[in-house]
C-alpha cells in the first residue's frame, strides 16, 4: 500500500553514502564557490543527514538511471512532520455530536467499572476454571475448587488485598479476580 505524505524539502533526509558519494561531497566543497576542505558528518550507523534541497544540490548531477556508481544507497530515511489525520479536520457538526455521545458513553461505562472495582475489596485466585482454596493440611499441597455447582465458590479463599492474591496467582500462572457483589 502506498500513501502520499506532504514533505517539505527543508526537512531532513538521512542517506548512507557510498565511497563515490563521500568523494563527490569532498570535491563539491573543494570547488567554487566554497573552496574549503569538508568531509561529510557520518553517524554511528553510517548515515549522513542533509536537508532534501542540499542533497539534491550536491548529488543531483550524480543521479542517473542505470548508473553503476550511485553516491548513496537507494534506501533512505526522511523526516516527516506528523500531521493530524484528515478525519479530525473535516468533522461536521452532526459527526462531532455522534463522536461526543460515544465518548460520553465510554466515560460513563468506565466510571461504572471503577465503582464496581472499588466495591470489590476481596479477591480470589483463578487458574483456568479452578479457584485456589488453600495449601492443604500440611501446607505443601495446594487445593483448588471448580465453580461447577451452587456454593462451590464459597470454599475458594478470599484475599483482602489484590497484592496478596497476585502473589499466589503468580506461583500458579493464574490471575487475581475481584469477588463479584453478592457472591459468596
Q: What value does the mean pLDDT of the chain take?
A: 83
| Inside any domain, residue 87 | no
Q: What is the pLDDT of residues 112-146, one digit of tens each?
A: 777 766 665 788 999 998 999 998 888 888 999 99
72 is in which domain, residue-wise?
A: 12-78
Listed range (27-36, 63-72, 127-136, 175-184) with the worst mean pLDDT: 175-184
| Inside any domain, residue 89 | no
Q: Which residue has the higher pLDDT, 151 or 99?
A: 151
- Percent of the chain at pLDDT exceeding 70: 86
16 and 74: one domain? yes
| Inside any domain, residue 26 | yes
| Inside any domain, residue 97 | no
Listed range (46-55, 71-80, 104-113, 137-146) with the worst mean pLDDT: 104-113
Q: Which residue has the higher pLDDT, 160 or 89?
A: 160
From the number of C-beta atoms within 10 Å of its C-beta (0-12, 13-18, 19+), residue 138 rates as exposed
Q: What length does the chain have? A: 184
| Inside any domain, residue 2 | no
- Of the three residues 43, 78, 113, the one that is the final residue of a domain is 78
Residue 39: pLDDT above 90?
no
In this prediction, residues 94-105 reach a mean pLDDT of: 72
Domain total of the chain:
2
| Inside any domain, residue 116 | no
Q: Which residue has the higher pLDDT, 83 or 108?
A: 108
Q: What is the pLDDT of residues 50-66, one digit of tens each?
A: 999 999 999 998 888 88
What was the pLDDT predicted at 71? Answer: 92
| Inside any domain, residue 150 | yes
Residue 110: pLDDT above 60?
yes
User: Model's pTM, two decimal places?
Assistant: 0.43
| Inside any domain, residue 105 | no
Amino acid at each position: 500500500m502506498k500513501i502520499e505524505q506532504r514533505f517539505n524539502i527543508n526537512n531532513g533526509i538521512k542517506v548512507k553514502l557510498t565511497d563515490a558519494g563521500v568523494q563527490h561531497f569532498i570535491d563539491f566543497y573543494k570547488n567554487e564557490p566554497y573552496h574549503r576542505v569538508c568531509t561529510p558528518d557520518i553517524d554511528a550507523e553510517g548515515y549522513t543527514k542533509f536537508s532534501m534541497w542540499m542533497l539534491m544540490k550536491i548529488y543531483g548531477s550524480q543521479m542517473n538511471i542505470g548508473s553503476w556508481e550511485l553516491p548513496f544507497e537507494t534506501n533512505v530515511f526522511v523526516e516527516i512532520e506528523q500531521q493530524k489525520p484528515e478525519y479530525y479536520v473535516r468533522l461536521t457538526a452532526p459527526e462531532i455530536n455522534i463522536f461526543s455521545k460515544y465518548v460520553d458513553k465510554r466515560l460513563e461505562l468506565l466510571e461504572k467499572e471503577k465503582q464496581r472495582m472499588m466495591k470489590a475489596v476481596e479477591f480470589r485466585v483463578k487458574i483456568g476454571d479452578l479457584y485456589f482454596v488453600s495449601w492443604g493440611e500440611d501446607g505443601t499441597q495446594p487445593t483448588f475448587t471448580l465453580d461447577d455447582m451452587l456454593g462451590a465458590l464459597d470454599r475458594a479463599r478470599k484475599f483482602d488485598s489484590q497484592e496478596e492474591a497476585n502473589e499466589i496467582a503468580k506461583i500458579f500462572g493464574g490471575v487475581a479476580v475481584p469477588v463479584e457483589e453478592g457472591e459468596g
